[in-house]
Structure 1
Amino acid sequence: MGPAAGSVTARYLVYFQYLGTDFNGVAAVRGSQRAVAVGVQNYLEEAAKRLNSVVPVKFTISSRTDAGVHALCNAAHLDVQRRSGQPPFSPEVLAEALNAHLRHPAIRILQAFRVPSDFHARHAATSRTYLYRLVTGCHRPDQLSVFERNRCWPLRAGCLDVGAMREAAQHLLGTHDFSAFQSAGSPATSSVRTLRRASVSPDPGSPFVLPQENRLRFWNLEFESQSFLYRQVRRMTAVLVAVGLGALMPAQVKVILESRDPLGRHQARVAPAHGLFLKSVLYGRLGFTTRKAQITPRCPADVRAP
């Protein structure tokens, strides 16, 4: 359907976050399957119906996330076609309107930008960063704070060899064929990716853990690339945890990577979905301005300088 006479179509980039526990991933679930599962996108598009766009609003999601995976900051673009004589929504009004009509408390719109009509939220992304949260010293599931359940991977081990994990992570950096860390079902035509950053660091500690629970220690793994293969981050995490637990030597990670075999004993393991967060999606400088200055849209959760 073409634009209605006199109507104005505006494209927006929106950043949004969600706790993934209640969703079948971020992508919309269509047809009869919706009776048993719903994606974050379903709720976003339901809220967008209240914008009264001439053409139904569809969200094009930057980064797919699986069931149970969270997002501190994901991104999407959408087109809103207002009726003749009505000016486009300002980005601020759009964000407020979507938040007002969202019907699930675990989803929030963070920010919106006007973007050119040919902007594409998935193809234009220059960087994606994932955070994986671990906790050691959790011998039983009921020893973890109720506020942390479904937000980290609890390990029974009391400690991790973080030095060995960092050494192992160095073998993953750079441009490689990551077939060994790709799960079946990926639509990618190439398994070559460039991993820019892979870090392992202690978390200062969860605010939801009581002082008497000081046996628990939290750890953050972060991975940055322009794009990732299906379940690549969760498979890399599982291998690095195996190194931290002494089941693998750091040098074996290089052997696994070069094997390009996703079915090996160690690389076939996948870390649980509930410990994974999409942390940020970044875009290069775009050809639009605000207050007469060219800007770089970025997730509010990302604090690095442009």
Structure 2
Amino acid sequence: MSPNKVRYLLFFQYFGTKYSGVVRVPETQAVLGVENYLERAAQKLRPVGKVTFSISSRTDAGVHAICNSAHVDIERPPDKPSFSEDLLVKALNFHLMPEPISIIKAIRVSEDFHARFKAISRKYFYRVVTGCHYTDLPVFERNLCWAASESHLDIPRIQEAAQFFVGTHDFSGFRSTNKDTPLKSPVKTLLQASISPSTSLLPNHNSNLQFWEFTFKSKSFAYNQVRRMTSALVAVGLGHLTPQDIKLHLEERRRPVFPRTIIAPPSGLFLKEVKYDEEDMKSYTTESRRRSPGDT
């Protein structure tokens, strides 16, 4: 890599409702991806050549991220110093306005660092609300949760069922496939599957509403796995499935069947964090700064 080119690991967040997903799509499309706007902002920094982002975790249209990550190489002209981490964050955020996308942090890393393959875990949570119909939701919540039912959920049954997801399993019954999604191994190791009480974004919300967060952690997930696991657990909480049904469908690698079988909508899904090995990150950061002293 050119001595004037620096690789950065960027952590960023976005409100996903208005985008086709996180990954870049052709600029001719009416609805663009978050990556399109990230690359537009980076090009306004006047780098040498075209800047491309390598996204760590793909999210679909309507899905949000509290923290996603990507690596990017930025080369500046020979007479310009490389960007410091803080300056890069400020400059990119300036050029991202008014989009609901924000860079949280930048870290200089070595030229062989890869945001996707170096990630050791990813954590998602899904916001579910019960006690109302979608049309009764506060307007500020309508793209940030799933109004799953007017009935309340049996939380102990959900907690029992969720534990069957933990560990290494073939999740063929809890993923989606389509012509645009390459078939990857359905065998995944889930490190966490839990449900906990949550709150509304509005302090004085309707007391009949109950908010819950379904949290899942793994190194990687199959396509739509989190949304399908969530809908199955909600079905358990409503009495349409039993915890043992979840175990059975995992073992038989077939999709659960219950009344109004659905995949939970994208609006309630959030990518919460992408984790990297701390020691690995420290060594990369030290190496990159040693390689380019004085640039920050």
Structure 2: how far apart are the matches of 1:282 and 1:38?
27
Residues 207 and 21 (structure 1), Cα distance of their counterparts in 2 relative to 1, 3 Å cut: closer
Give the structure 2 partner of residue 47 of structure 1. 41
CA deviation map 1:11-37 (0-9, x unaligned): 0000100010000000111154x2x22
Let me know the Cα RMSD of the aligned residues. Answer: 2.0
Equivalent residues, number = 283
Alignment partner for residue 151 of structure 2, among 139, 146, 158?
A: 158
Give the structure 2 partner of residue 114 of structure 1. 108
Unpaired segments ≥5 residues, structure 1 = 294-306
Identity, % of aligned pairs? 49
Structure 2: how far apart are the matches of 1:207 and 1:38?
27
Quote the offset at 1:196 in angstroms: 0.2
Q: Which shifted more, 111-120 or 51-60?
A: 51-60
CA deviation map 1:102-144 (0-9, x unaligned): 1443111111000110011111100100010011101x32321
Q: 2:191·2:216 contact (CA, 8 Å) conserved in 1?
A: yes
User: 1:29 is matched by which residue type in structure 2?
Assistant: V
TM-score by length of 2: 0.91
Q: Which shifted more, 142-151 or 114-123?
A: 142-151
Q: 1:264-283 alignment to 2 at 5 Å?
A: 264-266=256-258, 269-283=262-276
Quote the offset at 1:155 in angstroms: 2.5
Alignment partner for residue 167 of structure 1, among 160, 177, 183?
A: 160
Give the structure 1 partner of residue 185 of structure 2. 190
Quote the offset at 1:40 in angstroms: 0.5
Residues 129 and 249 (structure 1), Cα distance of their counterparts in 2 relative to 1, 3 Å cut: same
User: 2:184 is matched by which residue type in structure 1?
Assistant: T
Q: 1:1-306 alignment to 2 at 5 Å?
A: 3=2, 8-30=4-26, 32=28, 34=29, 36-138=30-132, 140-185=133-178, 186-203=181-198, 205-208=199-202, 210=204, 213-262=206-255, 264-266=256-258, 269-284=262-277, 285-286=279-280, 287-289=283-285
Q: 2:141·2:201 contact (CA, 8 Å) conserved in 1?
A: no
CA deviation map 1:217-275 (0-9, x unaligned): 1001000000000000000001000000000010100111112124x524963101000
Unpaired segments ≥5 residues, structure 2 = 290-296
User: 2:182 is matched by which residue type in structure 1?
Assistant: P
Q: 1:179·1:191 contact (CA, 8 Å) conserved in 2?
A: yes
Q: 2:151·2:238 contact (CA, 8 Å) conserved in 1?
A: no
Structure 2: how far apart are the matches of 1:155 and 1:180?
21
Give the structure 1 partner of residue 294 of structure 2. none
Structure 2: how far apart are the matches of 1:214 and 1:44?
40
Name the SS of the counterpart of 2:231 in structure 1. helix
Give the structure 1 partner of residue 293 of structure 2. none
Structure 1: how far apart are the matches of 2:101 and 2:153?
33
Q: 1:128·1:225 contact (CA, 8 Å) conserved in 2?
A: yes
